[in-house]
Structure 1
Amino acid sequence: MSPRLRRGLLGAAAVLLLGYASIHAMVWRHALARLAAPPQRPADAALILGNRAYKDGRPNPCLTGRVDAGLALAKAGTVRQLVFSGGVDSEDGRIEAEVMEQHARGAGYTGALLLEPVSQSTRENLSMSRAVLQAAGVRSVVIVTEPYHLWRAERLAHATGFDRLFDVQFAAAPSACWQQWGMAFKGALREPLAIVNNAANGYLH
């Protein structure tokens, strides 16, 4: 490899690394801001976005943590019902929405609950939940997900027109995926790649 080509490759790698680091920092700054600013207005429903259903043979704490955040909103009287969105998990064949329902009921939740059991991505969580929410007469929604996932979820909500159909707020779930360094590190490293992928496909604008 010639010195000129080597310098070019190193320069390109440096640009990519800088871009990745910039997105990573933006995601984490936004996450911290959302954690410090929980929803302030009552809403008709909390929409909990799906995630991998099981990890190491047990319910994935990244998923159950989101449900717990929704349960806290319901217990505080901020939302009147819960909506779980997530289809078949490719890794274990379980339906994410059903796993979330089982966790909520197991935690003692007896309130109103709706399922959207088909979606396979954040974009589909939002688009496929619209009909479920509208059929239930929902007009205001708190979208619940991991802190580092919120930046993308917010922009997808706008890009898909979700925030024009409903009065939308967002809630960061302070789950084990945020509190345990290994999980947070993995999730936050993956999120910039998901942002780039969504942007490249024209989903973010």
Structure 2
Amino acid sequence: MIRPVAALGRLWRRVPRVLRVAAWTVFGVGVVVYATAWTVVWQGAREALANPPQRAADAALVLGNRAYLRGKPNPCLTGRVDEGVALARAGLARELLFSGGVDTEDGRIEAEVMEQHARAVGHAGPMRQERVSSSTRLNLALSTPMLQATGVRSVIVVSEPYHLWRVKRLARNSGFDRAFDVQYAAAPSSCWRRWGMVFKGALREPLAVVNNAAHGYLF
């Protein structure tokens, strides 16, 4: 292992100084951008957890995530469903809409897995599936006509705490929060309770923020 590292060191020293300085500058800027986005996401998560929904809504829109993990339903996903079910049981959501298409990592349909879990925990209320979306932006866009078709006027959007800062801005920039009276519910899944901002989904979120911002979806 030492020899390849030493070889890389020698190769690096052969790179012209101006290119080495440029590479370190790009790396440093990347670290600062990531750290800034991470801090914003963390602050957004704390705010979402401190401000749960207060008003009853026509529907809870539960956003998808990876469907399965190590051969079992992903606890990061089922935790979102549990939050949606809890809202329904508390009389805060008349129906549940599960949004998520085919998971590229395991080939499962996220919305289908979510509804299966809701039934497994005893929820028998109205449930629907949006089975096509492949991103948070599409979760909102493709769920909108489904909600409007049944006269929904108010929605509680459910996701994990780290996700909601971006969700709120996507909703604002896309007009979702003008189409509906929107509240947000942070799902304290077992992934979140155990790891907070240092599990895979949360660590990837700042990169998603940067990507969405670069495409003009957030602002």
TM-score, normalization by structure 2: 0.89
Alignment pair present for 1:151 and 2:165: yes
Q: 2:36 aligns with which of 3, 6, 22?
A: 22
What is the alpha-carbon root mean square deviation over aligned residues?
1.4
- Cα distance in structure 1, aligned partners of 2:198 and 2:183: 23
Aligned-residue offset at 1:7: 2.7
Q: Say yes or no: does 1:77 pair with 2:88.
A: no
- C-alpha contact (below 8 Å) 1:80/1:112 kept by paired residues: yes
Q: Which residue of 1 aligns with 2:4?
A: none
CA contact (8 A) 2:197 2:203 kept: no
| In 1: Cα distance, 2:145 partner to 2:29 partner | 42
Q: Contact 1:34–1:172 at 8 Å: present in 2 too? A: yes
CA positional deviation for 1:4: 3.8
* Residues 146-192 of structure 1, C-alpha deviations (whole Å, 9 max, x = no match): 11010111111111111110000001000012112288432222011
Partners of 1:100 and 1:41 in 2: CA distance: 24
Instruction: Give 1 or 2 for the bigger CA radius of gyration.
Output: 2
Separation in structure 2 between the aligned mates of residue 7 and residue 109 of structure 1, nearest angstrom: 58
Give the Cα–Cα distance (whole angstroms) in 1 for the partners of residues 137 and 182 of structure 2.
Answer: 15
1:119 aligns with 2:127: no
TM-score by length of 1: 0.95
Letter in 2 for 1:21: A
Q: Does 1:137 align with 2:151?
A: yes
Identity %: 64
CA contact (8 A) 1:146 1:177 kept: no
**1:30-51 residue CA offsets vs partner (Å, 9 max, x unmatched):** 1011111101111111000011
1:89 and 2:109 equivalent?
no
Aligned length: 205
Partner in structure 2 of residue 6 of structure 1: 20
Secondary structure of the residue aligned to 2:128 is strand
In structure 2, the partner of 1:173 is 187
**1:176–1:183: 8 Å Cα contact kept in structure 2?**
no
Q: Show structure 2 runs of 5+ residues with no match.
A: 1-14
**Runs of 4+ residues deviating >3 angstroms:** 2-5
In 2, Cα distance between equivalents of 1:86 and 1:188:
18
CA displacement at 1:11 relative to structure 2: 2.4
Give the Cα separation in 1 of the matches to 2:26 and 2:46. 31
Distance 1:184 1:4 in 2: 35
Kept after mapping to 2: 8 A contact 1:44/1:141: yes
